Amino acid sequence: MENNNSNLDWMVNWSLQGHYPRNSQIKLINKINWAIGEGYKYIILEAGTGIGKSAIATTLANMYEDSYILTMTKQLQEQYLDDFGDILVEIKGRGNYKCNYKGNCDFCIKAEYKLKKCSDCEYNMAFKKAQNAKNVITNYDYFYYAGVENHLFDPRELLILDEAHNLERKMLMLSSSQLNREYISTKFGIDIFEPIMHATSSVNKLKKDSSYWIRLCDDLIKECEKRIKKIEGDANKSVQVSLDEFENNPSKFSNFDYVEKQNLEQDMKSFSSISLGLTTNDFIIDLPNKSAILDNNMDIAAEFKPFSVSDDTQKLLDLGNVCIFLTGTLGSKDKFCEWNDINPDETYYVYEKSPFDVEKRPIYIDFAGRLSGSVNGRARWKNKRAIDKIKELLDMHKNEKGVIHTSSNEQAFWIMDNLKGYNFMFVGGEDRNLVLKEFTESNESIILIGASIKDGVDFKGDLCRFQIVFKMPYPQLNEQVKYRKELDPKWFYYQAVMALMQAYGRGIRDIDDYCVMYIIDSSFKQLFDYNRGFFNEYFIEAVQKKK
């Protein structure tokens, strides 16, 4: 790509109005601009909290006037818009837009199938605006759906990927498929766990029985084909009916029939993908536990997770002529490139340490014992010493807001059940953003607790004066994680280190801020000693024993 930008262009393209750029920001913008001019396809910016990565990213977007910026959450997307809404145009999934006909666009057939009569649809208008905008802000989930799966977006000069340390795990999630028990049962009258319900198979056996799931998908595909032909009323007619044909001759189908046909075709696509993945041994099968199945829990699914996401990741990265990865905690450039199938020789790496005073952000090692792992089938974290330690720390900070980072929702509920009388606020699930908003706006001394606040949120000033890491944040050992761990054990520990360092960065957000972190799981010592190369100097220099 030809680079016509000079090292002074940041002056006219600086994005954060009302705030003069710091010398470190100018230096980083010029380094990245130089790397683009040198022809680097991939550029990694690892810069600590307080550097202002979002201002750097949007200034570069301004300079090149042809970009996508991706965030991990819609909340981060909104933060970008709050600061840089004058130069960014937003697009999100249909469910985020009000529908003039029914609730939101998720339930509006006119928006779903882009019929001409829905020209006033908020989603359609937002999508067209984004297509024509110079700089687009969106989230990974929507961009994967629109850009990779449905090819709705063309490549641009810059693809800027925020929170890029989570790229591979996000792609593993986005590339996965599932068969939902309730959906299949309601729509097709089949219980996907029938072999377990009739005791002809165990969960472990069914996990390894690819042939069963292939046969099931093939049967579902045949049922879809039969229903489509019935809707069309002619078994010899092609299953493809064009949108124009429907619009020009709407009496041919009812709206319900047309939507049902589209849904069936989407189902066929999903079933075919699962069947192909299992046939080529590209998928891992992950099932719920036996008790959830036998209890007739309908809100569960069989998940089919890819061994590798390198192809899908490359399709995503192909939507940018230059890809800029932003992160506060990378861990290892070489491992990042390896795990995301990126050529390190085409990758330019830039590092800038956070400027925050270490005295204002200590990490105290105050162990309550080993809380990771299990003994005789019982989780180590379920012990009185851990509760006593948390109580001691909460009493030290009784008039302050703080955060307890757990590794699962189960741990959060267990702590709350065993520490009555404290002002806890659980965060997690679909109402996460509403809870975070309530926490932010409250003047009470609330303790926010949950597993979903290690990254993607900012707790400035009095919002967070202390943090407690309850247990080392190792990934949940599902089948996909087990496979990745066996393939490369370092990957497993890398995930825990990244989550821990990201959690550390939640509590201090500017130069005058202060926040203390406590780590009470002694499993930290082994993680820290044997994986020190993944920890950055910003974290390492803050670690100390409690006074």
Domain boundaries, the chain: 10-88+133-174+309-352, 177-304, 358-545
User: Six-digit token pair at 306?
Assistant: 């890819």
pLDDT of 522: 96
Helix (H, G, I), strand (E, B) or coil at 451: coil
What size, in residues, is the chain?
A: 547
Which pLDDT score is estimated for 115?
Answer: 45
- Residue 242 corresponds to which tokens in the numbers above? 């064009």
CATH topology classification for 10-88+133-174+309-352: Rossmann fold (3.40.50)
CB 473 within 8 A of CB 499: yes
Determine how many CB atoms are found less than 10 A away from the CB of residue 186.
Answer: 11
Residue with tokens 């989550």: 499
DSSP line for 14-61:
--STTSPPPHHHHHHHHHHHHHHHTT-SEEEEEE-TTS-HHHHHHHHH
State how far the Cα of 403 lies from the Cα of 366, in Å rounded to an integer: 16
Q: Are 40 and 64 in contact (CB under 8 A)?
A: no
* Tokens describing residue 178: 């599932």
The C-alpha atoms of residue 531 and residue 479 are separated, in whole angstroms, by: 24
* Residue 547 pLDDT: 62
The DSSP bridge partners found for residue 90 are 137
The Cα–Cα gap between 175 and 467 comes to 33
509 to each of 85, 158, 265, how far by Cα in Å? 21, 27, 48
Contact 507, 470 (CB under 8 A): no
318: amino acid identity, one letter: D
* CA 344/CA 338 separation, integer angstroms: 8
d(CA 103, CA 484): 41
Which residues make beta-bridge pairs with 71? 139
Distance between CA 298 and CA 511 in Å, rounded? 50
Which helix (H) or strand (E) segment is 180 a member of?
strand 177-180
DSSP output for 280-307: TT-EEEE---HHHHHTT--S-EEEEEES
Q: What gap in Å lies between CA 441 and CA 436, rounded to an integer?
A: 9
521 has which bridge partners?
A: 369
Which phi and psi angles does 364 have, rounded to 5°?
-95, 130
Give first-to-last CA distance, the chain, whole Å. Answer: 55
**CA of residue 488 relative to chain centroid, distance:** 22
> What's the gap between Cα 139 and its chain centre?
9
pLDDT at residue number 526: 95
Reported as a single tens digit per residue, the pLDDT across 261-296 is: 878 888 999 999 999 999 988 889 999 999 999 988
Structure confidence by residue, pLDDT tens digits, 183-203: 999 999 999 999 999 888 899
User: Would you call 178 helix, strand, or coil by DSSP?
Assistant: strand
Edge-to-edge strands of the sheet including 42-47? 89-90, 135-139, 67-71, 156-161, 320-327, 42-47, 347-352
The predicted pLDDT at position 419 comes to 96
* CB of 310 closer than 8 Å to CB of 341: yes
Q: What confidence tens digit (pLDDT) does each residue in 118-144 have?
A: 567 788 889 999 999 999 999 999 999
Mean pLDDT in order along the chain per 10 residues (547 residues): 65 82 92 95 93 94 95 88 92 82 54 50 88 95 92 96 94 92 94 92 92 96 91 55 52 59 87 92 90 90 90 95 96 93 94 92 94 88 95 96 95 96 90 89 95 87 95 89 89 94 89 94 96 94 85
Task: Specify the pLDDT at position 239.
Answer: 43
3-state secondary structure of 198: coil
**Average pLDDT of the chain to the nearest whole number:** 88
- The structure's pTM equals 0.85
Residue 147 to residue 185: CA distance in whole angstroms: 31
Cα dist. 241→232, 237, 253 in Å? Answer: 9, 10, 10
Return the axis-axis angle of helices 310-317 and 167-174, rounded to nearest 10°.
Answer: 110
Is 358-545 a domain of CATH 3.40.50.300?
A: yes
